[in-house]
């Protein structure tokens, strides 16, 4: 059955996409990436607005107002499993709900009315207004409306320039980072705090930022603010007082780390808390940055304790996953690299790796890590993912919510490594959770009972 489906899909690779798909050992040219999607491909990549919103939405005490038709707000409603230790204002999805009349005559007055109503009802310290495609087309002056409202209400009301068509998801990340940089900018020099860092690119999915904060606290390092998981307006303003930025999701926050290095002279370190190997390596690199004997010795003690607790769980799953094959399609290249290492820890072969927004240097690393025959693809579409999962004989796809139905309809196991999950996959406990989830889904007896001849 799988061969039949593969035959049907085989001719559906669009010619213009060929430079963005590489099979290791068969093609030597570098992959084409960091480019706009090919028209007609139904790319898996999200739009500029979505990219901006996923980064900013975890600011828990802000009002997030989407200026556009209701569909844009609905598309990103409750977009992530980000958890909050306080306010839950971020969980609302406010929209100006633009209609035909607003499109013809302009939406600025409606936007101003919405802002007034939201400030009166919720009294936020920060209100973010997201531009959507249609706002870019009709030319509403978001900056002017926000500035006037800001003066009226004496709070920060900031436009997010994220018209959906004005680039790709990466441009949305950058727009969000520019908003954050503008927000934390201060004319006064900020005093530095001791042994203190900012944790960039963690959105506290299923409480992951809390796990990493507990590790760092235990070894004597204070997390000033996670940007943006479980952050608040006030905590974000403290960001310049740290002495180091660590970046988990380099795709969304690498730019912010670089800009803070230029503006505040704050060093920036890419780390990853996905998998045992990367978690241990990251803790060691962070502790060596602070060059403090007590921090380093506490880090080693924590690593020893946690490794002894969770490595046996990973090992027991590894024993049952030896001949299984994994496919990866995630947002950023840095996460894909960590996942390749995690599948190695589980003794699984990675046969397909793709990302939405991977960069050239990340694809170089991926190319070096994978074995001959592995398919690597940038900004894939559903047809390509289906074709290569079948061709490569993948037993499992790890991806986001948009990839789930692709895997299930082909009878392939799936793990959500993005939006909706309710259990953490970061840190030592996350590595054990991941291993158990891979084992449970790949080795589930359900796959034996599928009859896919009808699809
Ligand atoms: S901003 Fe544009 S591309 Fe994004 S969800 Fe709205 S209409 Fe769709």
| Residue nearest ligand 1's atom 6 by CA | 72
Q: Where is 270: in which H helix or E strand?
A: strand 268-270
- Kindly state whether residue 176 falls inside one of the protein's structural domains: no
Residue 163 belongs to domain with CATH number: 3.40.50.1980
| Single residue among 243, 277, 309 that ends a domain in this structure | 309
Q: Which atom of ligand 1 is nearest to the CA of 163?
A: 1
8 A C-beta contact, residue 426 and residue 211: yes
Number of domains in the chain: 3
Note whether 144 and 93 are same-domain residues. yes
- Kindly state whether residue 428 falls inside one of the protein's structural domains: yes
Query: Which residues does a 6 A CB cutoff place in the pocket of ligand 1?
Result: 47, 49-50, 68, 72, 75, 132-133, 164
Q: Where is 373: in which H helix or E strand?
A: none
Mean pLDDT by 10 residues, the chain (455 residues): 46 82 92 90 90 96 97 83 95 95 97 98 98 96 98 98 91 97 88 95 96 98 97 96 96 96 96 97 98 97 98 97 95 94 97 96 96 96 95 96 92 90 94 97 90 61
- Kindly state whether residue 295 falls inside one of the protein's structural domains: yes
The beta strand positions in 136-240, using DSSP E, are: 156-160, 196-202, 222-228
Note whether 205 and 258 are same-domain residues. yes
Q: Which atom of ligand 1 is nearest to the CA of 48?
A: 4
- DSSP line for 172-185: HHHHHHHHHHHHH-
- Kindly state whether residue 182 falls inside one of the protein's structural domains: no
Note whether 260 and 340 are same-domain residues. no
Centre of ligand 1 to C-alpha 173, Å, is 15
User: What is the predicted pLDDT for the residue at 418?
Assistant: 83
Q: Range of 234's domain?
A: 196-309
Ligand 1 pocket test, candidate residues 50, 67, 169, most atoms within 8 A of CB: 50
Note whether 424 and 318 are same-domain residues. yes
User: What is the predicted pLDDT for the residue at 453?
Assistant: 62
How many other CB atoms are found less than 10 A from the CB of residue 125? 13
Q: Distance (Å, rounded) from C-alpha 454 to C-alpha 11?
A: 20
| Single residue among 251, 283, 309 that ends a domain in this structure | 309
Note whether 409 and 394 are same-domain residues. yes
pLDDT 10s digits, 203-249: 999 999 999 999 999 999 999 999 999 999 999 999 999 999 999 99
Note whether 9 and 116 are same-domain residues. no
Q: Distance (Å, rounded) from C-alpha 373 to C-alpha 387?
A: 15
Note whether 208 and 80 are same-domain residues. no
- Kindly state whether residue 172 falls inside one of the protein's structural domains: no
Q: Distance (Å, rounded) from C-alpha 324 to C-alpha 314?
A: 15
- Kindly state whether residue 455 falls inside one of the protein's structural domains: no
Q: Distance (Å, rounded) from C-alpha 223 to C-alpha 217?
A: 7
User: What is the predicted pLDDT for the residue at 1?
Assistant: 41
């Amino acid at each position: 059955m799988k061969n039949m489906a593969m035959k049907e899909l085989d001719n559906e690779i669009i010619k213009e996409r060929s430079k963005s798909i590489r099979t290791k050992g068969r093609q030597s040219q570098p992959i084409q990436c960091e480019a706009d999607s090919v028209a007609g491909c139904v790319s898996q990549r999200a739009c500029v607005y979505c990219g901006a919103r996923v980064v900013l939405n975890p600011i828990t005490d802000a009002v997030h107002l989407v200026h556009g038709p209701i569909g844009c707000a609905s598309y990103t409603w409750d977009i992530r499993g980000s958890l909050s230790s306080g306010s839950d204002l971020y969980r609302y999805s406010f929209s100006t709900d633009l209609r035909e009349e607003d499109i013809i005559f302009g939406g600025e007055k409606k936007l101003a009315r919405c802002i007034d109503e939201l400030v009166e009802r919720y009294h936020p310290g920060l209100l973010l207004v997201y531009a959507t495609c249609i706002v870019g087309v009709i030319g509403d002056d978001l900056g002017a409306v926000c500035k006037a409202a800001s003066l009226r209400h004496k709070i920060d009301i900031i436009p997010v320039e994220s018209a959906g068509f004005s680039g790709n998801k990466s441009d949305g990340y950058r727009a969000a980072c520019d908003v954050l940089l503008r927000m934390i900018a201060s004319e006064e020099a900020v005093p530095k705090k001791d042994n203190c860092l900012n944790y960039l690119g963690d959105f506290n999915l299923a409480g992951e930022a809390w796990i990493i904060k507990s590790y760092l606290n235990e070894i004597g390092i204070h997390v000033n603010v996670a940007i943006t998981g479980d952050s608040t307006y006030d905590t974000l303003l403290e960001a310049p007082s740290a002495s180091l930025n660590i970046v988990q999701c380099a795709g969304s926050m690498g730019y912010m780390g670089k800009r803070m290095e230029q503006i505040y002279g704050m060093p920036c370190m890419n780390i990853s808390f996905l998998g045992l190997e990367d978690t241990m390596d990251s803790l060691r690199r962070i502790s060596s940055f602070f060059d403090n004997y007590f921090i380093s010795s506490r880090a080693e003690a924590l690593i020893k304790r946690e490794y002894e607790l969770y490595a046996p769980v990973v090992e027991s799953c590894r024993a049952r996953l030896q001949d299984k094959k994994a496919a990866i399609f995630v947002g950023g290249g840095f996460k894909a690299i960590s996942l390749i290492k995690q599948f190695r820890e589980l003794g699984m072969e990675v046969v397909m790796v793709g990302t939405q927004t991977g960069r050239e240097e990340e694809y170089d690393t991926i190319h070096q890590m994978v074995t001959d025959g592995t398919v690597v693809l940038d900004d894939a579409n559903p047809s390509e993912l289906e074709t290569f999962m079948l061709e490569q004989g993948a037993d499992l796809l790890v991806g986001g919510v948009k990839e789930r139905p692709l895997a299930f309809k082909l009878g392939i196991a799936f793990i959500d490594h993005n939006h909706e999950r309710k259990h953490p996959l970061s840190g030592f406990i996350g590595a054990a959770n991941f291993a158990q989830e891979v084992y449970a889904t790949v080795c589930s007896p359900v796959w034996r009972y599928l009859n896919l001849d009808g699809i």
